[in-house]
Structure 1
Amino acid sequence: MNYYRYAPPAYAPAADRYETMPFRRVGRSGLQLPAISLGLWHNFGDDRPLSVQREIIHRAFDRGVTHFDLANNYGPPHGSAEKNFGRVLREDLSRHRDEIIVSTKAGWGMWPGPYGFGGSRKHLMASLDQSLERLGVDYVDVFYHHRPDPDAPLEETMYALRDIVASGKALYVGVSSYGPELTAEAAEIMAGEGVPLLIHQPSYSIVNRWVERPGEDGRSLLREAADNGLGVIAFSPLAQGLLTNRYVDGIPEASRAGSGKMNRDFLSPENLETARALNEVAARRGQTLAQMALAWVLREQGENGAETVASTVIGASSASQLEENLQALANLSFSDEELAAIDAAAPDAGVNQWESATKSRTRGE
Structure 2
Amino acid sequence: MSYQASPARYENMLYRRLGNSGLKLPAISLGLWHNFGDATRFETSRELIHHAFDHGITHFDLANNYGPPPGSAEENFGRILREDLLAWRDELIISSKAGYTMWDGPYGDWGSKKYLVASLNQSLKRLGLDYVDIFYHHRPDPNTPLEETMSALDLIVRQGKALYIGLSNYPAELAQQAFDILKQLGTPCLIHQPKYSMFERWVEADLLDTLQQNGVGSIAFSPLAGGVLTDRYLAGIPQDSRAASSSTFLNADQITPEKLEKVRKLNDIALARGQKLSQMALAWVLRGDRVTSVLIGASKTSQIDDAVNSLNNLQLSEQEISDIEKILM
Residue 256 (structure 1) aligned with residue 256 (structure 2) = no
Q: Confirm or deny: 8 A CA contact 1:242 1:266 kept in the other structure.
A: no
Q: Which residue of 2 aligns with 1:156?
A: 148
Question: Secondary structure of the equivalent of 2:135?
Answer: strand
The residue identity in structure 2 corresponding to 1:65 is I
Q: Confirm or deny: 8 A CA contact 2:28 2:307 kept in the other structure.
A: no
In structure 1, C-alpha distance between the alignment counterparts of 2:117 and 2:156, rounded to whole Å: 7
Question: Secondary structure of the equivalent of 2:134?
Answer: strand
**Matches of residues 283-294 of structure 1 in structure 2 within 5 Å?**
283-294=271-282
In structure 1, C-alpha distance between the alignment counterparts of 2:178 and 2:82, rounded to whole Å: 35
In structure 2, C-alpha distance between the alignment counterparts of 1:331 and 1:176, rounded to whole Å: 28
**Matches of residues 63-102 of structure 1 in structure 2 within 5 Å?**
63-102=55-94
Q: Which residue of 1 aligns with 2:215?
A: 229
Compute the displacement of 1:47 (Å). 1.0
Q: Confirm or deny: 8 A CA contact 2:270 2:276 kept in the other structure.
A: yes
In structure 1, C-alpha distance between the alignment counterparts of 2:283 and 2:105, rounded to whole Å: 42
Out of 232, 239, 261, the position equivalent to 1:273 is: 261
How far does the alpha carbon of each residue in 1:34-86 deviate from its partner, in whole angstroms, 9 at most, with x for none? 00000000111111111111111001000000000000111110011111111
Compute the displacement of 1:101 (Å). 0.4
How far does the alpha carbon of each residue in 1:160-184 deviate from its partner, in whole angstroms, 9 at most, with x for none? 0000000000000000010011111
Residue 185 (structure 1) aligned with residue 177 (structure 2) = yes
Q: Which residue of 1 aligns with 2:307?
A: 325
The residue identity in structure 2 corresponding to 1:263 is L
Query: How many aligned residue pairs are there?
Result: 327
Q: Which residue of 1 aligns with 2:194?
A: 202
Out of 19, 39, 62, the position equivalent to 1:47 is: 39
Q: Which residue of 2 aligns with 1:344?
A: 326
In structure 1, C-alpha distance between the alignment counterparts of 2:309 and 2:296, rounded to whole Å: 13
Compute the displacement of 1:243 (Å). 0.5
The residue identity in structure 2 corresponding to 1:73 is N
How far does the alpha carbon of each residue in 1:17-44 deviate from its partner, in whole angstroms, 9 at most, with x for none? 1111010000110000000000000111
Q: Confirm or deny: 8 A CA contact 2:109 2:115 kept in the other structure.
A: yes
Q: Which residue of 2 aligns with 1:350?
A: none
Compute the displacement of 1:234 (Å). 0.5
In structure 2, C-alpha distance between the alignment counterparts of 1:153 and 1:289, rounded to whole Å: 43
Out of 132, 153, 168, the position equivalent to 1:140 is: 132
For structure 2, the residue ranges without an aligned partner over 5 or more in a row are: none
* 4+ residue runs over 4 A deviation: none
Compute the displacement of 1:253 (Å). 2.1
Q: Confirm or deny: 8 A CA contact 1:206 1:237 kept in the other structure.
A: yes
How far does the alpha carbon of each residue in 1:195-233 deviate from its partner, in whole angstroms, 9 at most, with x for none? 1000000000011111001xxxxxx10010111111011
Q: Confirm or deny: 8 A CA contact 1:66 1:99 kept in the other structure.
A: yes
**Matches of residues 88-127 of structure 1 in structure 2 within 5 Å?**
88-127=80-119
Question: Secondary structure of the equivalent of 2:3?
Answer: coil
Q: Which residue of 1 aligns with 2:9?
A: 17
In structure 1, C-alpha distance between the alignment counterparts of 2:36 and 2:312, rounded to whole Å: 27
Over the matched positions of the two proteins, sequence identity in percent amounts to 59
How far does the alpha carbon of each residue in 1:137-172 deviate from its partner, in whole angstroms, 9 at most, with x for none? 110000000000100100000000000000000000
In structure 2, C-alpha distance between the alignment counterparts of 1:266 and 1:91, rounded to whole Å: 41
The residue identity in structure 1 corresponding to 2:224 is L
In structure 2, C-alpha distance between the alignment counterparts of 1:243 and 1:188, rounded to whole Å: 36
In structure 2, C-alpha distance between the alignment counterparts of 1:145 and 1:47, rounded to whole Å: 26
The residue identity in structure 2 corresponding to 1:228 is N
- TM-score, scaled to structure 2: 0.98
Q: Confirm or deny: 8 A CA contact 2:28 2:295 kept in the other structure.
A: yes
Q: Which residue of 2 aligns with 1:245?
A: 231
Question: Secondary structure of the equivalent of 1:91?
Answer: helix
In structure 2, C-alpha distance between the alignment counterparts of 1:46 and 1:76, rounded to whole Å: 6
In structure 2, C-alpha distance between the alignment counterparts of 1:342 and 1:41, rounded to whole Å: 29
Q: Which residue of 2 aligns with 1:172?
A: 164
The residue identity in structure 1 corresponding to 2:298 is A
Q: Confirm or deny: 8 A CA contact 1:83 1:134 kept in the other structure.
A: yes
Question: Secondary structure of the equivalent of 2:97?
Answer: strand
The residue identity in structure 1 corresponding to 2:258 is E
